[in-house]
Amino acid sequence: MRWDALFHDLESQLQAVTDARQESEIRERTRSEQARVTLMQRVTGQIGRPVGVSTSGGRSLTGVLTNVGSQWIALAVEERSVIVPLSSVQVLRGLGRSVGQPLSGIEAKLGLGSALRALSRDRAQVALWVTSPPSRYAGVIDRVGADFLELGLVAPGDERRAANIREVLTVPFASIDTLDSVAQTE
């Protein structure tokens, strides 16, 4: 009887060591897989969900994540769409556990300039927020270059016509905190 108890005890100890090794290996593999997840994968896994964003210019926004490009995200905030360059993101809040796939194909090529060119093409009124000093400018994007935009300043609601332009600003992409589309009135 003593030998049975001894062998049973040894088997239990061996099983405990084996279980501990397996758990350790599983934890290590999980950490290794998580180490390969990029911020873009975390963000793309949140499309369609509400998220919060704090920016380097001091804005705090909460909205539904609608689009992700290689250098920007877009949120639906109340009646407007807000483009946030990734370089301006300081903190993301409310991300769920989902992880998306890496951007590929056309999505991977949609840089900040692509999103801004679409707004320029549509002659959309925008509110441009810059980082330093934090400032807001209202107008229409006249031109989008490789790393800058030109914004024709107009009064809210005015169309982009030569007579309505108060000034044209040239703004490097690196200075953009966020860019809000202005709700269109019908």
**pLDDT recorded at residue 186:** 41
∠ CA(56), CA(142), CA(44), 5° rounding? 45
**pLDDT recorded at residue 26:** 67
**pLDDT recorded at residue 185:** 45
Backbone angles phi, psi at 30, to 5 degrees: -60, -45
Q: Mean pLDDT for each 10-residue chunk of the chain (186 residues)?
A: 70 77 69 71 92 96 94 93 96 90 76 92 92 91 95 78 81 97 59
48-65 CB burial, b ≥16 within 10 A, e <16: eeebebebebebebebeb
Report whether the peptide linkage leading into residue 102 is cis, meaning its omega lies within 30 degrees of zero. Answer: no
**pLDDT recorded at residue 143:** 94
Q: How far apart are CA 117 and CA 111, in angstroms?
A: 10
Contact between 174 and 72 under an 8 Å Cβ cutoff? The reply is: no
Contact between 137 and 75 under an 8 Å Cβ cutoff? The reply is: no
Q: How far apart are CA 33 and CA 72, in angstroms?
A: 25
- Class of residue 35 by CB neighbours under 10 A (exposed 0-12, middle 13-18, buried 19+): exposed
Give pTM, 2 decimals: 0.78
Token pair for residue 41?
């994968």
